Structure 1
Amino acid sequence: MILVTGATGHLGSSVVHHLHHLVQKNEFSVLARNPEKAQSLIDQGIEVRMGDFNDIETLIQAFKGVEKLLLISTMEMNRFEQHQNVIDAAKIAGVKHVVYTGLAIQDIERSGVKDLMISHFQTEAYLQKSGLDYTLVRNSMYADAIPVILGQSIFKDGILLPGGDGKVPYALREEMGEGLARLLVQEGHNNKIYHFTGSKAYSYQDIARELSELTQANMHYQNIEDDTFEKLLNDINMPEFLVYLTKGTLYDIKHHQYEIQSQDLETILGRKTKDLHGMLKVLYPI
């Protein structure tokens, strides 16, 4: 029995979609905190188990009979404590194998979002010491984040970001979801670390060039200063946490933190991930 946490989120719902095509419905279940959000899964005949990451007793009950658990990382400020609860509950309930989704980055100690993202590596260390079999899947940035970071005015103002010439090996969330689903149903991934990245890395200049070709517009990328970018974010009344997260992410891109080359995702998928042209056609209604 496989159990997927975060099944009502973007990545989790993609994993569930692909599991549907790989195994029978009685071979996997999902964890949900809110039964209303999980109603569509219930309607599909998928077993939904109730559990709260902040309540270990509910997790112990939900994990009974589970052999392999996919722990999709949360975005809560107490993320590490929540993940500890999941891992502790998994041990008590007799789970054999935990797959964890973390972050593919060069050096977390130099990250602009270290305070938030270091919990990924704390979770990894805790899981490795737990005695459970584990698989650590470190995800690159989702291509789906490109339109969010570029903003709504790019076709009028161009791309104004402090990303330097840094590159990111983007992959679509749908591709990562499929990769995780395939990994869950396969054997031989115990106690291994994988980097789920796209087959090729791209800069914002590459994105501007490709969008220009797709739209027949003269799209350009301007590498602006960090302070100018922060002012732009504040001018649109972006919440403080999102300013921190966006600025820190761009800082990491500029300093080449995401430039990790790996064929792990394409190996598990059995094909290369979509190239930049293919990703942008999915992301923009062009």
Structure 2
Amino acid sequence: MILITGSTGHFGKATIDHLLEKGVNANSIAALVRDDAKAIELKAKGIQIRKGDYNDYASLKSAFTGIDKLLLVSSNDLQDRLKQQQHAVKAAREAGVKHIIYTSFARKNETDTSPIASVGKSHIETENLIKESGIPYTLLLNGLYSDVLPMFFGEQVLQTGIFLPAGNGKVTFATRNDMAEAAANILMGYGHENKIYTIGNTESYTLQDAATILQEVTGKPIAYTSPTIAEYTSALTQAGVPAAYIDIFAGFSEAIKQGEFETAGTDLEKLLSRKPATLRDYLTSVYGRK
């Protein structure tokens, strides 16, 4: 039995869809949900629903009972993520889960000097907990999703261009859908125990590359401006963007500038048995002329 956490989120839902498309029986897939009302679509597909909450260890232990392979999709609660995932790993061990696959993140700098240290620390500590648990594991060091770009660009990107303090840093952007398919292939396959996979594209892109592609697929002039962090913070503050979001965007932009998300190699193509979707493919799907 396979169990997917975060099953009503983008990554979890996509993984389940890929499993079904590849012929895995719905009755051999379980989905962890907090709210039954959000599981109607999953139930309609024949997926077994298990109630559980990252904040409730007992519920996780019950939900994980009888599970062979667990896809632990990282919590999106940045403040309490580590505590929640401590519950999940402990519950998996106590419930007898036989293999845990965790969606972590690609990085180069694991110290407090990283511009995204506050985000990365919980991932790194969760990886260590999983290794120490004695459960066979697969760690997915996921790079940046192509799917985050519309959020970074803003709704007026076709009018105002790209404004991010990311310099000329390169990123191996890959789509969430491709990463989810890779996770599905691991869940279906064998020989992935105690492996660490770097998940990114085969090509690296700067934000200037993104602007050039965006201009080509829309037919509109798209400029890329890389301001200082102070200029960026000031501009977004004046635009009414909440401070918490500004800090996150600025942190990830600085990480891009420092090359944190340009991986030296990738396992994604091997796991997919095909080339991943390119940045052009993604931007065309979102912004291409209709």
Of residues 188, 201, 206 in structure 1, which corresponds to 2:209? 206
Once the two structures are superposed, the pairs formed by residues 87-166 of structure 1 within 5 Å of their partners are 87-109=89-111, 110-166=113-169
Q: Per-residue CA shift, 1:236-273, capped at 9, x if unaligned?
A: 32222212111100010011111113231110101111
User: Structure 1 unaligned runs (5+)?
Assistant: none
The answer to whether the 8 A contact 2:169-2:258 is kept is yes
Cross-structure match for 1:18: 18
Of residues 84, 87, 90 in structure 1, which corresponds to 2:86? 84
Q: Per-residue CA shift, 1:24-70, capped at 9, x if unaligned?
A: 11221110011111111112211110001111111111111101100
Q: Give the match's secondary structure for 2:36.
A: coil
1:159, distance to aligned residue in structure 2 (A): 1.4
Q: Give the aligned length.
A: 286
1:71, distance to aligned residue in structure 2 (A): 0.3
2:199 is equivalent to residue 196 of structure 1: yes
TM-score normalised to the size of structure 2?
0.96
Cross-structure match for 1:279: 282
Matches of 1:231 and 1:34, distance apart in 2: 39
Cross-structure match for 2:76: 75
Matches of 1:40 and 1:214, distance apart in 2: 34
Matches of 2:238 and 2:72, distance apart in 1: 37
Q: Give the match's secondary structure for 1:168.
A: coil
Cross-structure match for 2:4: 4
Q: Give the match's secondary structure for 1:136.
A: strand
1:107, distance to aligned residue in structure 2 (A): 0.9
TM-score normalised to the size of structure 1?
0.97
Cross-structure match for 2:45: 44
Per mean C-alpha deviation after superposition, the further-off stretch among 234-243 and 43-52 is 234-243
Matches of 1:180 and 1:249, distance apart in 2: 24
1:233, distance to aligned residue in structure 2 (A): 1.8
The answer to whether the 8 A contact 1:139-1:195 is kept is yes
Q: Give the match's secondary structure for 2:71.
A: strand
Matches of 1:11 and 1:197, distance apart in 2: 15
Cross-structure match for 1:61: 62
Matches of 1:124 and 1:100, distance apart in 2: 8
Aligned AA (1:67): D
Aligned AA (1:43): A
Per mean C-alpha deviation after superposition, the further-off stretch among 121-130 and 40-49 is 40-49
The answer to whether the 8 A contact 1:169-1:261 is kept is no
Q: Give the match's secondary structure for 1:251.
A: helix
Aligned AA (1:20): L
User: Structure 2 unaligned runs (5+)?
Assistant: none
Aligned AA (2:38): K
Of residues 171, 175, 181 in structure 2, which corresponds to 1:172? 175
The answer to whether the 8 A contact 1:170-1:202 is kept is yes
Matches of 2:264 and 2:241, distance apart in 1: 33
Aligned AA (2:213): E
Q: Per-residue CA shift, 1:126-149, capped at 9, x if unaligned?
A: 110111111100100110111110
Q: CA RMSD in A?
A: 1.1
